[in-house]
Amino acid sequence: MRKHQGLTILIMCCCLGLLSGCWDVVELNKRAIVSGIGVDWKEEEKEYLVSFQTVIADEISGKAGRGATPTSVYKASGKSIVEAMRNASRKVPRIISLAHTGLIVISDRVAREGIIDLFDYLDRDSDIRLNAEVLIATQGQTAEDVVSAMTPIGKITAFALEQKIDLTSGQLGENFRIEVDDVIRGLLTPGGGPLVNGVTIEGSAEKASKMETLKNAKVEGLAVISQMAVFKGDRLVSWLNADESRGTVWIRNKMKITPIHLKLLDQGGEISLEVMRSKTRLFADLEDPANPIIHIHVEPNFSIREVNSAIDLRNPATMKLLEDAASKEVIRIMELAVRKSKEVNSDILGFGQAVERSDPSAWRKMKNRWDQLFPRVQVKYHVKPVIRNSQMRDRSVLYKIHNQ
């Protein structure tokens, strides 16, 4: 009998553990939900200045709104990110909740000094998600300006910037999503560093943070996605221009859609193509380990979008001519990206990974001196373009005018 009583008590104790609930629960009305974080540097104090974009739930729901801004920005400084967050408790009347943070904005100044400490914190903190988007504020602007900016479409700037990155990567081809986890992997790349999308304020940064700017048809201050920042190790060393960004996106097999502009020297006029889809593969030739050769194979499919020429698009020879011209243009764009990465000596293109895939044992021998080998890497381009269609029209209006 006593044996059964002991077993019953043990089972009851186990059940009590399941009924205890969340011991560290904090009600929503006691939390300040952070949607975006901006990190700047205060030179005089040698401290981080951290800005928190918090969501005002009443303004988002629209039921109990007072017509105020949908977000509020609090800032605090400290020798470390953690200290800055704790100092923010003097200003924020609720517990700062980072679980919904979707955007991390870093100033150009902080990025040039080094981001290893910042990303150690982001990787270590259990509240911050590793899929939060990372942006670098362009030179001359602060991360605080970006997280404080209002957006006409979408109430929360941090989430709107995430959507802008997804849209421009799928429509323009000069960017792709780069999250906290991607940056950390870039920091661990031998001889390389991470790529991070840039962000800038077009117009007035002061007006961009005011509610009045949303009431005007003409936006006087807007946060805009810019080209990508290149890191060597954990330090920002350069910025890519538009073509270098597209070449990088192409080589890294992130290309979805992008326009290609061709000038037709023999036939005269110009034509615009658009990439419908593209596939890129990298292979390493290690016949001479001291001088590796990287082969870049690209298979883009194009659609004809604009024709300002009298060329005959029904002629197969014309289509072959256009495909050859498109191939040269794609190679030109990729060459710019390769040249830039060699100039800053940062393997942002994944050449080291291609070598490792081809011969893991050879890579183990050369990865510690990849800094010396990378600038000497020979690159060969193999582009096989295919023009799939010309949309709703084949021969242009100019062709018909010239052949009347």
Per DSSP, helices labelled H in 180-315 are 180-187, 205-208, 242-251
Can you spell out the DSSP letters for 78-98? ESSHHHHHHHGGGT-SSEEE-
Answer yes or no: is pLDDT of 134 > 60.
Answer: yes
The phi-psi region of residue 346 (left if phi > 0; otherwise alpha if psi is between -120 and 50; otherwise beta) is: beta
| Nearest residue to 289 (alpha-carbon basis) of 207, 376, 380 | 376
Q: Which residues pair with 74 in a beta bridge?
A: 52
**Which tokens hold the place of 45?**
């104090």
pLDDT in tens, 15-33: 666 655 565 666 666 777 8
Contact between 229 and 111 under an 8 Å Cβ cutoff? The reply is yes
Q: How far is CA 141 from the centre of its chain?
A: 18
Residue with the larger pLDDT of the pair 7 and 127: 127
Cβ-count burial of 259 within 10 angstroms (0-12 exposed, 13-18 middle, 19+ buried)? middle
What pLDDT score does 238 carry? 95
What pLDDT score does 251 carry? 96
- Give 290's pLDDT tier (boundaries 50, 70, 90): confident
Q: What is the CA radius of gyration of the chain?
A: 27
Answer yes or no: is pLDDT of 62 > 60.
Answer: no
Average pLDDT of span 276-305: 93
Lowest mean pLDDT among 13-27, 178-192, 292-306: 13-27
What pLDDT score does 328 carry? 95
What pLDDT score does 58 carry? 63
- Provide the residue type at 175 as one letter: N
| Nearest residue to 326 (alpha-carbon basis) of 273, 366, 289 | 273
Average pLDDT, the chain: 87
What pLDDT score does 48 carry? 93
What pLDDT score does 300 carry? 96
Cβ-count burial of 283 within 10 angstroms (0-12 exposed, 13-18 middle, 19+ buried)? middle
Tokens 């080589």 belong to residue: 251
Lowest mean pLDDT among 71-75, 298-302, 349-353: 71-75
Average pLDDT of span 67-91: 84
Residue 19 has phi, psi (to 5 degrees) of -95, 5
CA distance 323 to 237: 36
Answer yes or no: is pLDDT of 302 > 90.
Answer: yes
**E-assigned strand segments in 191-312:** 195-203, 221-232, 235-239, 259-263, 270-285, 293-308
What pLDDT score does 16 carry? 62
What pLDDT score does 25 carry? 60
CA distance 117 to 234: 9
CA distance 102 to 114: 22
Q: How far is CA 208 from the centre of its chain?
A: 22
What pLDDT score does 64 carry? 54
CA distance 93 to 67: 21
What pLDDT score does 155 carry? 74
